[in-house]
Amino acid sequence: MKHDHVFFASLVTFVLVAPSREAEENFEDAHRFIFYSVLEGCFEDGLSTEDVSQILLRREKESYFHFIYACPVCLPTIHALEVYRSRPDHFYGVKGGASTFGSGLTPDLKRQLYSGAPADRLVAINSLVQRWTARRMSLLALSDEQRGQLQKAFEEMRKKGMETLKSFKAGGTASYYAPAFATIEECAACNGAVGKGLKVPDPQ
């Protein structure tokens, strides 16, 4: 297990410092970092396919319910969740039909994710993204300079995501492009990426 982590850390460190030109144009380092953080987090925590579908809730004639359309943090998060959801039903040669590694979400987090209140679900998603990003930061043992560069990139991505949400709300299109954010002023995934919790209105 330790050797596997070293291998993946080396692989992703290489990707971070030396991407191909074509990939660099389409998927910047910070995008990839969030993608790998979320994908690895899903496997390590052992999310079920149903859990991921709940996060990727999408109703007819709407964008993804819990994400902000075109947000630079939400996009790699969605990409990773889609990849995880499309994994095989079970791993070849593994008894019991396992297709993930961890034991699943904690009961409290699961209740939050399946709550009838959008704010509760967004808080759960924020907690997951925050944990997954921090986990990968620790796994790669980044230098202070590398960590600072990523943090700065995440902050810039969060700024764009917040501006996008604000624009949708001002233009009256948030119900389509950011359906879960009627009473929420911050992006759940963006805040998670920069290590911030999500502010939600006090329950009435």
C-alpha distances (whole Å) from 178 to each of 15, 97, 122, 184, 197 are: 31, 36, 12, 10, 19
Classify residue 13: in a domain, yes or no. Answer: no
Classify residue 70: in a domain, yes or no. Answer: yes
Cβ atoms of 152 and 33 within 8 Å: the answer is no
* Cα within 13 Å of Cα(22), Cβ side: 0
**Domain carrying residue 139:** 29-193
Classify residue 200: in a domain, yes or no. Answer: no
Q: What is the pTM of this model?
A: 0.86
Which amino acid is it at 38? V
Classify residue 41: in a domain, yes or no. Answer: yes
Classify residue 119: in a domain, yes or no. Answer: yes
pLDDT digits over 62-79, tens only? 789 999 999 999 999 999
Classify residue 142: in a domain, yes or no. Answer: yes
pLDDT at position 181 over 90: yes
Q: Angle, to 10 degrees, between the axis of helix 2-17 and the axis of helix 118-140?
A: 90
Number of domains in the chain: 1
Using DSSP, state whether 91 is helix, strand or coil.
coil
pLDDT digits over 116-168, tens only? 999 999 999 999 999 999 999 999 999 999 999 999 999 999 999 999 999 99
Classify residue 86: in a domain, yes or no. Answer: yes
